Amino acid sequence: MAVGIFDSGLGGLTVLDAVTRRLPDVPFVYFGDNAHAPYGVRDADDVYQLTCKAVSRLWDEGCDLVILACNTASAAALRRMQESWLPSDKRVLGVFVPLIEALTERQWGDNSPPREVEVKHVALFATPATVASRAFQRELAFRAIGVDVEAQACGGVVDAIEDGDMILAEALVRSHVDALKRKMPDPEAAILGCTHYPLMDKEFQDALGAHVKVFSQANLVAESLADYLERHPNMLGSGTEAKFLTTGDPRKVSDRATQFLRRRIEFEAA
């Protein structure tokens, strides 16, 4: 009954932490492609190939359902995977859907015409690859009208977080928020479009101001997954063991993950 969680690095641990709290009886297999992180500076074809390889590895662990806890993979690879690669008995879900649902206040299966929503000015903070894909804007346009989205590519933030340099990460966050505000002085809401960014949510909020509603993904994904599994219990795979896999150095990744979650995490080689 295992479910796979995939990320290019450690940011997906924020999602893993949330889904584990929400679904304590489900064993989760986490795969971090740390050897190739970050994905945010790679081209779409490269991201697609790496993501397919990682998802296949999670299928080997008995995970018929895999969550791409990586916005770059969700933006650059998911649609292509679903259209031309995914077997009929497997499912791969991204992290955009719960965010779009929360912002537009409508369920993903609601295929009625786009309509106006309360929030009109949205700041999107994401990796360069996610921003370049325009995937968030495309999905939002299917469901809402009159929403102005200003995207800011946050170069360097993921690298700083992965390296454990939170002082640099905070400085970069403030710099990117300043750059965004020069383009959109008064955003009403902000999307943290990378699963690393919840680790800096206080810094984003402080830089943006208390009046800006900040949407972070981990808890939204957890609730969405719980609802999906209630509707599709057959997608719980045959795997029974929770584990952490990495393409990087297991010892180094374990130490960094332990700092992330503030509990001991032991990765093994993928």
CATH number, domain at 20?
3.40.50.1860
Structural tokens at position 96:
């955009």
State whether residue 232 is helix, strand or coil.
Answer: coil
Please report, for residues 178, 199, 258, 266, the alpha-carbon distance to residue 255 in angstroms, rounded to integers and kept in the order given: 33, 17, 5, 8
The reply to whether 90 and 224 lie within a common domain is yes
pLDDT at position 109 is 63
pLDDT at position 108 is 57
The reply to whether 66 and 114 lie within a common domain is no
Structural tokens at position 109:
């299966």
The reply to whether 209 and 102 lie within a common domain is yes
The reply to whether 85 and 11 lie within a common domain is yes
- pTM (2 d.p.): 0.86
The reply to whether 23 and 48 lie within a common domain is yes
User: Is residue 194 annotated as part of the catalytic site, yes or no?
Assistant: yes
The reply to whether 72 and 125 lie within a common domain is no
Alpha helices, H only, 77-156? 78-84, 96-104, 128-133, 135-141
Q: Could you tell me how many residues make up the chain?
A: 270
The catalytically annotated residue of 52, 63, 154, 194 is 194
Tens-binned pLDDT, residue by residue, of the chain (270 aa): 799 999 999 999 999 999 999 999 999 999 999 999 889 889 999 999 999 999 999 999 999 999 999 989 998 899 999 999 999 999 999 988 888 888 887 775 666 788 888 889 999 999 998 899 898 888 888 888 889 999 999 999 988 988 889 999 999 999 999 999 999 999 999 999 988 898 899 999 999 999 999 988 888 899 889 989 999 999 988 888 999 999 999 999 999 999 888 899 999 999
Residue ending a domain, among 177, 194, 215, is 215
Binding residues: 7-8, 39-40, 71-72, 195-196
The reply to whether 106 and 167 lie within a common domain is yes
The reply to whether 124 and 29 lie within a common domain is no
Q: How many domains does the chain have?
A: 2
Domain of 22 in residue numbering reads as 3-94+218-269
The reply to whether 172 and 210 lie within a common domain is yes
pLDDT at position 59 is 96
The reply to whether 110 and 196 lie within a common domain is yes
pLDDT at position 115 is 83
User: Is residue 154 annotated as part of the catalytic site, yes or no?
Assistant: no
The reply to whether 106 and 57 lie within a common domain is no
Binding residues for substrate: 7-8, 39-40, 71-72, 195-196
**Edge-to-edge strand list for the sheet holding 3-7:** 91-93, 65-68, 3-7, 28-32, 243-246, 267-269
Provide DSSP, 146-163: S-EEEEEE-TTHHHHHHT
Residue ending a domain, among 196, 215, 234, is 215
pLDDT at position 204 is 97
Residue ending a domain, among 193, 215, 237, is 215
Q: Given phi > 0 = left and psi -120 to 50 = alpha, else beta, which region is 111?
A: alpha
The DSSP call for residue 200 is G
The reply to whether 44 and 112 lie within a common domain is no
Q: What angle do CA 233, 237, 238 make, to 5 degrees?
A: 125
Residue written as token pair 């933030």: 157
